[in-house]
Each structure stands twice: as structure tokens, then as C-alpha cells.
Amino acid sequence: MTPPVLCYHRVGGAPELGVTRVSQAVFSRQMESLARAGWRTLTLSEFSGSRTTPHAPRTFLLTFDDGYESLAEYAYPVLERFGFTATTFVITDFIGRENRWDMRYTWRRLRHLDWPHIEHWRARGFEFASHGARHRRLTWVDDVTANDELCRARAVLIEKLGAEAGRAIAYPFGAVDDRVQRLAHAAGYALGFGGVRGDHGSPWHLPRVPVYMWDATNIPFGLRQDSLGAAGRFVAHVANRCAVGTSMLQAVRGRIWRPPESTVDA
Ligand SMILES: [Zn+2]
């Protein structure tokens, strides 16, 4: 059985209108509670190995999507305090840039981690992997676009960080189907992370539970065995399926896409 996987997006920083931000107080309390309860985080390679051989109880993969700069300030130092590690899925065209791929949920646009940040935290045992080149919903785009998203992101990560960084992708919005799984496999990824349900039989459609702002108890829903955990995972599944606003905006903008170089503030 695959170990559980948690997925956070933003931790701390400016409040937003969306639901993916978790305050630093909640995040710290959850990490402290997990550490006290004997939970331990896995590296990606430990996670990969534990899919085929029995894994230690109370182990999980901790992941972050989108790679916001604020992780370096509010999340990674907390994890270090408890001896935890994490894998962050970054959007390679937006590394070191402002968030122009999403709807605007904050007053000021958010920044993403830059390469020096990534290299600094990687040297301290944190891992980085692919969240696509531009955060496109892969199930809505043609093969050429999906391939570009998958392959370009992987090539950049391998060039900058080495072969290990090309091992895994978290599909933007958790959106994956059989076609996207085939394309991810062909692009060279060994692991692909989808939404709450996933398909435990396929390494290219692994389940992951997003932690949304209402998931604020000491142990996040994704790691709870009780009925609250089951209910919370169901709500996360529904919320994830409903989060199509950004994808629709991207679909509209798709025809007028320009590379980030031309969209930097003057
Ligand atoms: Zn994302």
C-alpha cells in the first residue's frame, strides 16, 4: 500500500481570497503534532521504494505545489525544526517570477522561489520536482502542448538540479487521465501525482490529499484514520474537482500566451 501523501500550497504570508493558504500557526501546529505522534516524512526515493516493499507505520510524503517564495520563510524552517523533509513541485517557467498563471487571489502578485532559493534548500535535504512548465491543465490541452509542458519542465529541472529532479510530476490541478499518464511515462517521469482518489495500481496516478484552509485540526485529514478524516478527504476531493476557474482563465488566455519574459512588470 502506498504511504499517504499530503499536499500544501501556500503557507503563511498575505491572506488570499482562495482556499489553499494555510496560516503558519496552523502549519507549525500540525507539523509539531505529527512529530509528537511519531510521524516521519519520506524522501521521494524512500516513497518510491515503499510502494513495493512494506513501509514503516506513520510515514508519509509531504509535498508543496507551485513553489511560492514564502515557503522558504514560513514552511521549510518549521520542517527543519522537526527533522522533516518535503518535496516541492515547481512551475519551471515561473521560477523566480511573479504568479501570472493563476487568477489573482491576493492584493499583490505572489512570487515563486528562485534558483538560488531552490539550491539552498536542496542542499539542506529538501527535494524539488515538476509541476509542469506553465501550470496548464493537461487533460484539456492537445498532445503537443501536454508534451511541451511535461518535457520542457523535466529537462530544465534535470539540467539545473540533476537526474533525481526529473523523477516526479504533480499534475497541475491534480488533473490526469489515461492519456496524460501515458505522456508522463513517455516523457521520462517515474511517478505522477493526481488528486485525492488516484489509482494505487499506477505509478503515474498516485493519490494525494490537498490541505485546504479548513483542514486545521492537529492531524490533517489526509493522515487521519477516523470518520473526520474520511469526511475531510471527501470534501477535499469535491473542492479539487470544483477548482476549474484558473483552468478556464488559462484556456481563454491560451490563444494569446506570451512567454514570461514579455510579461514582466515594466
Ligand atoms: Zn498547482
Higher pLDDT, 176 or 105: 176
User: What is the C-alpha to C-alpha distance for residues 168 and 182, in angstroms, rounded to an integer?
Assistant: 14
As a whole number, the mean pLDDT across the chain is 87
**Which of 256 and 210 is assigned the larger pLDDT?**
210
Which grid cell is 215?
A: 483542514
Separation of CA 134 and ligand 1 centre (Å): 10
Cell numbers linked to 218: 492537529
Distance in Å, CA 9 to ligand 1 centroid: 7
Residue 129 is placed in which grid cell?
520536482
Q: 171: CA distance to ligand 1 center in Å?
A: 8
Average pLDDT over residues 82-90: 97
CA of 100 to the centre of ligand 1 (A): 12
- Find the 131 Cα to ligand 1 centroid distance in Å: 7
For residue 124, the model assigns a pLDDT of 96
Tell me the pTM: 0.88
Query: CA–CA separation, 139 vs 180, rounded Å?
Result: 7
CA of 255 to the centre of ligand 1 (A): 21
List b or e across 245-254, with b for residues whose CB sees 16 or more CB atoms inside 10 angstroms.
ebbeebeeee
Give tens-digit pLDDT for 248-265.
555 555 544 444 443 333
| Alpha carbon of 59 to ligand 1 centroid (Å) | 24
**pLDDT higher than 60, residue 244:** no
pLDDT band at 107 (very low <50, low <70, confident <90, very high): low
> Strands 5-8 and 191-193: what pairing?
unpaired
Find the 170 Cα to ligand 1 centroid distance in Å: 8
Which pLDDT belongs to residue 105?
A: 65
Backbone angles phi, psi at 53, to 5 degrees: -115, 150
Predicted pLDDT at 100: 77
- For ligand 1, the distance from its centroid to the CA atom of residue 172, given in whole angstroms, is 5
Cβ(19)–Cβ(214) below 8 Å: yes
**Cα–ligand 1 centroid distance for 231 (angstroms):** 23
Distance in Å, CA 205 to ligand 1 centroid: 16
Ligand 1 centroid, distance to 167 Cα (angstroms): 18
- 3-state secondary structure labels for all residues of the chain: CCCCEEEECEECCCCCCCCCEECHHHHHHHHHHHHHCCCEECCHHHHHHHCCCCCCCCEEEEEEEECECHHHHHCHHHHHHCCCCCEEEECHHHCCCECCCCCCCCCCCCEECCHHHHHHHHHCCCEEEECCCCCCCHHHCCHHHHHHHHHHHHHHHHHHHCHHHHCEEECHHHCCCHHHHHHHHHHCCCEEECCCCCCCCCCCCECCEECCCCCCCCCCHHHCCCHHHHHHHHHHHHHHHHCCHHHHHHHHHHHHCCCHHHHCCC
State CA 73 to chain mean position distance. 17
Distance 112 CA to ligand 1 centre (A): 12
Per-residue confidence band for 188, with pLDDT thresholds at 50, 70 and 90:
very high
Of the candidates 227, 228, 241, the residue with the CA atom closest to the CA atom of residue 197: 241
At residue 1, the pLDDT reads 75
Interatomic CA distance for residues 108 and 202, integer angstroms? 39
Write out the residues surrounding ion ligand 1, Cβ under 5 A: 65-66
- C-alpha distance from residue 217 to each of 4, 32, 187, 230 (Å): 17, 12, 38, 14
pLDDT bin (cut points 50, 70, 90) of residue 18 is: confident
Model confidence over 29-83: pLDDT tens digits? 999 999 999 999 999 999 998 877 877 889 999 999 999 999 999 999 999 999 9
For residues 142-158, average pLDDT: 97
